[in-house]
A = this chain, B = another copy of it.
Amino acid sequence: MNGIDSSPIRKAFELARSIENPINLSIGQPHFPCPPNIIEAMNQAAKDGKTAYTLTGGIPELKEAMAKKYISGNGISYAHPDRILSTSGISSALFLLFNALVNPGDECLVVSPYFLMYPAMLKFYGAKLLTVDESFGPADLEKFKTNKIKLIIFSNPSNPTGKVLSKEQLHALANLAEATGAFLISDEIYELFDYDKKFYSIGKDYEKTITLTGFSKTYNMTGLRLATILAEKEVIQALTTLQQYTVVCAPSITQWAGIEALKTDMSSYIQDYKEKRDFVYDSLKDHYSLEKSGGAFYFFLKIPIQDEEFIKKAVEKKLILVPGYIFCESKNFVRLSFATEWDNLKRGMTALQELASRL
């Protein structure tokens, strides 16, 4: 258990509670409420008595709705309810996958910077970590072709950088998976937060992909715990057995909420975040070296001093960020979330501009 370090995010959370009127840009979830039609559908399910265990794999109605979504929304023509498992959020999906697939000593390739849960849990299950920077080209993957890789995992769009992987990069990862026999896991929890329409589901072209789709971020349902896994039937069967003996099923009423969520138009929320993305980029591009985020709701900001020190200085301005070292090997980044109100975001950009001029 000791290899797991989650203290920086907890620290940010505690800081935000201790500061009066903080500028909290550390939050990894949307600032808008879960749309009321979703709440209503969930409450109706509860009133209708849908409080008992569901089938382990999820209610058929949700799996059918998800199959349609994968086909029409992601272009994954082979999607089918038998290939879908509903879980208690992406984290549960990851736990099922890692626990079922990873044996001690297995090599696992993670695209870096990474969602901090990947290496933490992979190490917990005894994996040997390999990383490749998200800026990789196909040639950079050649060196891994002689490895015996158990799985390849990435989030697309990325938490913490907002990077949307190109089709060429995704094909290169799929080729590597095919060549090494690795499972390819595409974590697409931020898929709707895709500001330049560049997001691509690699599952569309590579049928062995394990595609993870979350409801938490898109609809602000993080506390309701719902995600789905799309994978080959044999993988789904193994994960279903493991789910039966661990979490049993995703919450019943949340699954009904999920069906309603899929009918909900989120474009105005996404447009708002796109404007915020642009605003952050325009505010910081002359002060910091940074890549324009393409998705999710994060910027991964390069900073001229060590992250922990930078964060201390930011706190003096009531600004709360997450240090980059928990997402990659470098200590020269901080993660900034623009999932917040305009007021807050404007105050944050002013604080960051002042900080840059002082350093």
Contact = CB atoms under 8 A, between A and B. Distances in A.
Interface of A: 1, 4, 6, 29, 33-34, 39, 42-43, 46-47, 49-54, 88-89, 91-92, 94-95, 99-100, 117, 120-121, 124, 220-225, 238, 241-242, 244-249, 251-254
A221 B46 CA distance: 10
A124 B103 CA distance: 12
Q: Which 3 pairs, one residue from A and one from B, show the smallest C-beta to C-beta distance?
A: A223-B252, A95-B246, A43-B43
Given A51-B220, A52-B29, A222-B53, A245 B120 contact: yes
B245 A88 contact: no
Contact of A223 (B29, B241, B251): B251
Given A47-B43, A52-B29, A52-B222, A238 B1 contact: yes
Given A53-B223, A88-B225, A251-B251, 18 more contacts: A1-B238, A4-B245, A29-B52, A29-B53, A51-B220, A51-B223, A51-B224, A92-B247, A95-B245, A117-B245, A120-B245, A124-B242, A222-B248, A223-B252, A224-B251, A225-B225, A225-B249, A251-B254
A94 B245 CA distance: 9
A6 B244 CA distance: 8
A2 to B, nearest CB: 9
A255 to B, nearest CB: 9
Chain B CB within 10 Å, residue with most, of A91, A99, A117, A225: A225
Contact of A245 (B34, B121, B242): B121
Contacts of A224: 51, 251-253
B245 A223 contact: no
A92 B223 contact: no
A39 B223 CA distance: 17
A345 to B, nearest CB: 19
Nearest to A49: B33
A110 to B, nearest CB: 15
Given A52-B223, A224-B51, A95 B247 contact: yes
A13 B212 CA distance: 29
Q: Which of A39, A51, A88 has the most CB of B within 10 A?
A: A51
B51 A34 contact: yes
A39 B100 CA distance: 35
Nearest to A116: B245
A33 B48 CA distance: 10
A314 to B, nearest CB: 23
Contacts of A247: 88-89, 91-92, 95, 225, 247
A253 B121 contact: no
- Looking at A54, A124, A238, A246, the one whose CB has the most chain B CB atoms below 10 A away is A246
Given A100-B1, A251-B254, A252-B223, A91 B245 contact: yes
